[in-house]
Structure 1
Amino acid sequence: MDTKRFLFVSADAALITDLAWQVHKEGHDVKYYIESENDTEIGDGFVPKTDDWRASVEWADVVVFDDIWVGDEVGTGELAQELRAQGTAVVGGTPATDRLEEDRGYAMEVLEDHGVNTVEHHVFHDFDEAIQHVRENPVPYVIKPLGEVQNVKRLLYVGNEDDGSDVVDVLQAYKKAWGHRMKGFQLQRKVDGVEVAICGFFDGESFVDAVNFNFEHKKLFPGNIGPSTGEMGTSMFWAGHNKLFAETLGKVEGWLADEGYVGSIDINCIVNETGIYPLEFTPRFGYPTIALQEESFESGTGQFFYDLAHGNDPELTVHNGYQIGVRIVLPPFPFDDEKTYDENSRNAAIVFQTDSRDGIHLEDAKNVDGQWRSAGSNGMPLVVTGKGETMQQAREQAYGRIDDIVMPNMYYRDDIGERWIDGDGDRLQAWGYLGPQT
């Protein structure tokens, strides 16, 4: 395709560096804006930057927003909507689609209004009322904070006790420690099964044919142990509009078209032999999901997002197999401790023992005179990916690439993709969710 101009906007933290880098490597003109002062060096040496994104809107053929947040407030959907009204092609949401992530109760209402089965859920703004509810209805629950504190991933709690007693204990602790900030939260009845996210790309009118099915690994340690991190790695594959898609995203296609949504939208679910139970929306790119999706694109990334934003019937050719991505992190991730970060991780050198950079994707990294280094203050410099005809082959490629990286104090999970091999894939097949396209 002809060279196009892409403006990438991180109105809060820098998240979309890798996508901007990929489009830049394909020969397109790129400008990248980062609002967060702590993150402004991320991507230096990899991607051209701008310090005034609004001044570059007329220059751009496509504007790409990476998240729903503008600082501490939800708001990129409103910005995207304003730009579309001016005739600008945008990859981004709307105020209503932003709300799908920020207000979990609203998200469940949208699903129910469109005939999607949902798990029992209740929104509370008072801890004592929630505690009373659990005591009167003793089953395991999941605590999901609402609003700004939902980004503090360690506050999400999955109950284990059949009588809900551990959830009561955690709610009492949260009331003391977080009551001043946690203005609301959702209690969701815990459902056992396979956790799978269904991700589609929407062009303002309909979903593209290729649908991504991904499996998140949120805990810090192998075996799904330790604090929640947001994400330590992802395994995935691509398919068509099968039953998992038809019963979830497929049912809200008309609503998204009415909104004029453009971009990636993901719905995380628990599925078992009795049904599909949506848990939450991600109406934006997922991280590190987008880096792994890029790795599996076999058609041009820039071309795809240009066509998506312009509603040009975008075509997407993807790897026919399995993919995994592993997040490489540094101390004190997933916690915030400036002293520890300064002593162990700031500006850490990233050394490669081979000339190949295949499967290496950027998060919090910069390039200084040819030397890759960690950047920012979050301790997430890289995502390393692999792919293959089987999940095991994808694992072997990804971890083989990690073996060629030297970075002091780095750590990562070594079990990404194992759940699929150990039975999740067989269960989804046995329950009839991976059959032919509908």
Structure 2
Amino acid sequence: MKFLFVTRYSSLHALASQIQKEGHEVKYTVLSRTEKEVGDGFVEKIDNWEEYKKWADAIIFDDSDFGDVCERLRKEGHKVVGGTRYSDKLEFDREFGTTEMKAAGLTTIPSWEFQDFDSAIQFIRDNPQRCVVKPSGKAQNDKVLSYVGQEEDGKDVITILERYRKGWGKKIKRFQIQKFVSGVEVAIGAFYNGKKFILPALVNFEHKKMMNNDIGPSTGEMGTSGFWAMDTRLFKETLGKMESRIQGYVGYFDINCIVNARGIYPLEFTPRFGYPTLNLQLEGILSKWGEFMYALAAGHDFPLRTKRGLQIAVVVAVPPFPFSDNETFRKFSEDAPVVFKKPSTEGVYPCEIKLVDGEWLLTGTSGYSMVVTGAGSTMGDARKEAYSRIKNIQVPNMFYRTDIGERWNRDSDLLQTWGLLT
């Protein structure tokens, strides 16, 4: 079959490469000018994807702002993996997402939407409490702007908002203040074929901070651990309640939650491929990806086969990650080689990498260089495999967390105790 991939920031080529290895034809477009070199040498790159839409048996998009394009293509008769206007709004408009959660019968955490910092600061002064700041719209892509309050009276959040007002006032147009709820942070996601979810679902645990023990700036994600499960209570009370509401959407759909002894509290929707979640899925799914993606795009059911046990994915990054600084990237990271001590790339997925004369070189701008995965019957086995693969890699100034998956024993015990995995 023929697959056309359209990506804005280019981390989709690991999936494109996998489908190409299975014997299918692949063409790949990167829309961002600064990421144009990413994926070079791994897959065939094209400039104008619209010229190839009739060529493709399926077109695959990877972000949440292609909904209107995907709907147009579907009306033209194309088979598409990608969003809808509705799914785009679920992610970018936090207030709308919360409203839809309530309408679907999900239990939500109290939250308040603001369009200016002064009003939010006054609100916390009038209602002192521990809370979380979450930008809405495109600004939420800068994960370093999300802030989890530490003080019960909210004074640290007021300080953060005052600094955001000075430094980010033009970028953050809308944001949400959410009441802090303690518990285990866990996400539940599954692939949706336009009509229903394809099980099993992926129960996954994100590690968002830059350093071990959740210290440092938020990065989006430094690693993920997870496992596949069927019709659990966690699925029924989250994705299951959204199943009839997202019809038309095609692709991976994830809900991040806080859970505790009192219940399940959804935090946000991610209606798209996630990173490094996609790499975790590449490690954990046994089915042929080309057949699976085509079945999703065509609206077919599919007998998805996945590994038993557990999988982890570890982000290996270089400066300036998690910040954006083109000069720092050029100075410390651009065109740096990736050296493999032994000639094996199994479980190593290139992200902002290009292939030149058989050599992996760093490119792009962010320093999000690669993701390394592992799997095993226990979390210890999965961790051992992933970190042994990392030890085979040498990149100047590379860094990564060494504790991905370590909190599994505690988190899994709590989820079992609360009856969420049955």
Shared fold, TM over 0.5: yes
**CA shift digits 1:330-364 (9 cap, x unpaired):** 11111222222112100110011122221011211
Question: Which residue identity does 2:414 align to in structure 1?
Answer: R
Question: Which residue identity does 1:430 align to in structure 2?
Answer: T
Question: Which residue identity does 2:421 align to in structure 1?
Answer: L
Find the counterpart in structure 2 of residue 261 from structure 1. Answer: 249
Q: Is the 8 A contact 2:86 2:246 kept in 1?
A: no
Aligned pairs (5 A) from 1:2-21: 4-10=1-7, 12-21=8-17
**CA shift digits 1:153-199 (9 cap, x unpaired):** 11100001111111111111111221222111000111100000110
**CA shift digits 1:126-155 (9 cap, x unpaired):** 212111211222111100011121111111
Question: Which residue identity does 1:384 align to in structure 2?
Answer: V
Deviation of residue 403 (structure 1)? 0.5
For residues 375 and 178 of structure 1, what CA distance do their matches in structure 2 show? 27
For residues 345 and 375 of structure 2, what CA distance do their matches in structure 1 show? 15
Report whether the alignment pairs 1:36 with 2:32: yes
Aligned pairs (5 A) from 1:131-280: 131-257=121-247, 260-280=248-268
Aligned residues: 422
For residues 143 and 246 of structure 2, what CA distance do their matches in structure 1 show? 27
**CA shift digits 1:290-315 (9 cap, x unpaired):** 01101111110111111111112122
For residues 50 and 59 of structure 2, what CA distance do their matches in structure 1 show? 10
Question: Which residue identity does 1:380 align to in structure 2?
Answer: Y
Report whether the alignment pairs 1:433 with 2:381: no
For residues 192 and 112 of structure 1, what CA distance do their matches in structure 2 show? 20
Find the counterpart in structure 2 of residue 285 from structure 1. Answer: 273
Q: Which of 20, 23, 26 is the equivalent residue of 1:27?
A: 23
Question: Which residue identity does 2:212 align to in structure 1?
Answer: P
Give structure 2 stretches of 5+ with no counterpart. none
**CA shift digits 1:363-409 (9 cap, x unpaired):** 11111010111121111121000000011110000000000111111
1:418 is paired with a residue whose SS is: coil
**CA shift digits 1:27-86 (9 cap, x unpaired):** 110000001111111111111111110000000000000102xxxxx3x00000000001
Find the counterpart in structure 2 of residue 71 from structure 1. Answer: none
For residues 193 and 170 of structure 2, what CA distance do their matches in structure 1 show? 40
Q: Which of 104, 124, 131 is the equivalent residue of 2:94?
A: 104
For residues 204 and 247 of structure 1, what CA distance do their matches in structure 2 show? 20
For residues 57 and 65 of structure 1, what CA distance do their matches in structure 2 show? 12
2:314 is paired with a residue whose SS is: strand
For residues 267 and 434 of structure 1, what CA distance do their matches in structure 2 show? 16
1:213 is paired with a residue whose SS is: strand
**CA shift digits 1:225-274 (9 cap, x unpaired):** 001111111001000121011001100111112xx111001000000000
Q: Share of identical aligned residues, percent?
A: 50
Q: TM-score scaled to structure 1, two decimals?
A: 0.95
Give structure 1 stretches of 5+ with no counterpart. 69-73
Question: Which residue identity does 1:62 align to in structure 2?
Answer: A
Question: Which residue identity does 2:273 align to in structure 1?
Answer: F
Find the counterpart in structure 1 of residue 379 from structure 2. Answer: 391
Deviation of residue 26 (structure 1)? 1.0
For residues 278 and 168 of structure 2, what CA distance do their matches in structure 1 show? 32
Deviation of residue 287 (structure 1)? 0.6
Q: Which of 80, 91, 112 is the equivalent residue of 1:122?
A: 112
1:210 is paired with a residue whose SS is: strand
